[in-house]
């Protein structure tokens, strides 16, 4: 049978695409065990059931829409990190598996179109629009084995958050998310021993990896569904405004806005994530380093980077900070009033060098006696459960 549509949310089934020919008995078992209660098949594209006349299907609301457009929906209501983190964790886990499946299909020579990824981008976007800190910070917590796939999920989320900060909305906001999700598709064709090497690459190996934007662009062109924004970000997210990037050494105005956005989001997630050969930097330290690279006509477009800092924060969710009282806390949420006054969960006293009862402090509250004195290194204080603290599990 040719599956035309799996009814219900993509979160409820184990497939990353919703249109495919069902030929594998294992896929049939996965489908039966998934909880999906109904689906549409296209008898014109599969082997029809003998003796049964196909029924006329009522057209869906968006059936005449472009292949990779999504219905316009109102922006989701914004919620706190504690309200969103559980749903974001489910979305992260499902999205990581979906991207892994996508990459595996590319390795087998199958073309990838963007239509199948639409629901994935929609779900990630909805989480980010409810609370950007939850999914973005969860996606930063990668293992060496799932880095490539979760990096794509994280960059998708970061692109949506940045697009919103830049007042990009509607189809272009979703397209920014799609571009983030598929920006590293070319890595599916890179040698696994080079891609997952637990150490610094040689010049020859780096030259191989530098081919992934061109390969990804070729894959998207062959799929014939990807829009220009997605293809452009895939090809040019490693370009730098000083002309030192690759593959085409483009400069400043030669690079599109979306490719400049992709460059910032790609680097931020890469340097804050644990890799096979190094530990990720603290989010606040990463913002500081990137600001240095952004100045003087360097890596990033200053206006794009400034917008990125506004949506992520000078002290992003998950950053460890020292307050003026000497207590340490992890950043939970940003404040609309100031980048310097986020919501912080304090849990450690530097004076007694001991854990204290966790307390949430809103630094933006009028009359709050506390302020951030600086960022801190968790390893310096022997703190190993930082992500559990901001995620609310302890």
Which pair of tokens denotes residue 199? 């150490």
pLDDT at 295 (0 to 100): 66
Residue 338, φ and ψ in degrees, nearest 5: -160, 145
Average pLDDT over residues 387-394: 68
pLDDT at 55 (0 to 100): 40
At 247, the pLDDT band (50, 70, 90 cuts) reads: very high
- Rounded percentage of the chain residues whose pLDDT exceeds 90: 58
Q: Please state which architecture CATH assigns to domain 81-312.
A: Orthogonal Bundle (1.10)
| 327 three-class SS | strand
Answer left, alpha or beta for residue 41, where phi above 0 means left and psi between -120 and 50 means alpha.
beta
Position 392 scores a pLDDT of 65
Q: pLDDT band for 296, please (50, 70, 90 cuts).
A: low
Q: Quickly state the pLDDT bin for 297 (edges 50, 70, 90).
A: low
Q: Could you tell me whether strands 327-333 and 320-323 are parallel, antiparallel, or unpaired per DSSP bridges?
A: antiparallel
The better pLDDT of the pair 380, 235 is held by 235
pLDDT at residue number 8: 63
- Closest residue by Cα to residue 376 from 326, 334, 305: 326
What is the Cα–Cα distance from 110 to 235, expressed in whole angstroms?
A: 20
pLDDT in tens, 104-131: 999 999 888 677 788 889 999 999 999 9
pLDDT greater at residue 4 or residue 56: 4
Mean predicted confidence (pLDDT) in 143-166: 93
Averaged pLDDT for residues 150-178: 96
Average pLDDT in the 98-103 region? 92
pLDDT at 155: 97
CB under 8 Å to 108, separation ≥6 — which residues?
A: none
- Long-range contacts of 51-56, Cβ-Cβ distance < 8 Å, separation of 24 or more: none
What radius of gyration, in Å, describes the C-alpha atoms of the chain? 22
What tens digit of pLDDT does each residue of 50-100 get?
544 444 333 333 333 333 434 444 567 888 888 898 999 999 999 999 999
Average pLDDT over residues 348-357: 94
Q: Comparing 136 with 297, which gets the higher pLDDT?
A: 136
309 vs 178: CA distance, rounded Å: 21
The predicted structure's pLDDT at residue 17: 63
Q: How high is the pLDDT of residue 53?
A: 44
Query: What single DSSP character describes residue 378?
Result: G
- Give the mean pLDDT of the chain: 85
- Cα 172 to Cα 69, 159, 228, 357: the distances in Å are 10, 11, 11, 45
> Which helix (H) or strand (E) is 359 found in, with range?
strand 354-362
Count of helices and strands (H, E) across the chain: 14, 8
Q: pLDDT above 70 covers what percent of the chain?
A: 87
Count CB neighbours of 45 within 10 A: 13
What mean pLDDT do residues 226-242 have? 96
Domain range list for the chain: 1-58, 81-312, 320-391
Lowest mean pLDDT among 45-54, 121-130, 184-193: 45-54
Confidence (pLDDT) at 1: 83
């Amino acid at each position: 049978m040719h599956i035309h549509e799996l009814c219900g949310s993509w979160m409820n089934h184990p497939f990353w695409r919703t249109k495919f020919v069902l030929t594998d008995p294992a896929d049939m078992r996965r489908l039966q065990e998934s909880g999906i209660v109904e689906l549409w098949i296209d008898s014109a594209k599969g082997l029809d059931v003998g003796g049964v006349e196909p029924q006329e299907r009522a057209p869906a609301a968006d059936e005449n829409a472009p292949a990779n457009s999504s219905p316009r929906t109102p922006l989701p209501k914004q919620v706190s990190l504690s309200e969103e983190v559980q749903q974001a964790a489910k979305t992260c886990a499902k999205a990581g598996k979906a991207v892994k499946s996508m990459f595996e299909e590319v390795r087998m020579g199958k073309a990838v179109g963007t239509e199948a990824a639409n629901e994935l981008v929609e779900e990630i976007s909805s989480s980010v629009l409810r609370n950007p800190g939850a999914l973005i910070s969860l996606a930063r917590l990668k293992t060496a084995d799932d880095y490539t796939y979760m990096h794509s999920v994280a960059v998708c989320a970061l692109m949506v958050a940045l697009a919103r900060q830049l007042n990009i909305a509607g189809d272009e906001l979703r397209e920014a998310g799609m571009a983030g999700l598929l920006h590293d598709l070319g890595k599916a064709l890179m040698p696994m021993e080079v891609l997952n090497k637990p150490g610094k690459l040689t010049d020859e190996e780096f030259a191989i990896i530098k081919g992934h934007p061109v390969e990804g662009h070729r894959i998207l062109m062959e799929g014939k569904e990807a829009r220009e924004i997605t293809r452009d970000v895939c090809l040019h997210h490693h370009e730098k405004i000083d002309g030192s990037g690759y593959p085409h050494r483009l400069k400043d105005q030669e690079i599109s806005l979306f490719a400049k956005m992709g460059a910032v989001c790609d680097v931020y997630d890469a340097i804050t994530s644990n890799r096979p050969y190094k530990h990720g930097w603290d989010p606040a330290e990463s913002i500081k380093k990137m600001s240095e690279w952004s100045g003087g006509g360097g890596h990033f477009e200053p206006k794009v980077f400034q917008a990125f800092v506004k949506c992520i924060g000078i002290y992003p969710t998950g950053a460890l900070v020292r307050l003026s009282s000497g207590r340490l806390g992890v950043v939970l949420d940003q404040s609309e009033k100031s980048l310097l006054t986020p919501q912080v969960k304090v849990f450690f006293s530097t004076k007694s060098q001991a854990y204290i009862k966790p307390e949430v402090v809103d630094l933006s509250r009028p009359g709050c006696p506390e302020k951030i004195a600086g960022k801190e290194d968790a390893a310096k204080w022997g703190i190993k459960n930082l992500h559990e603290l901001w995620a609310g599990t302890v």
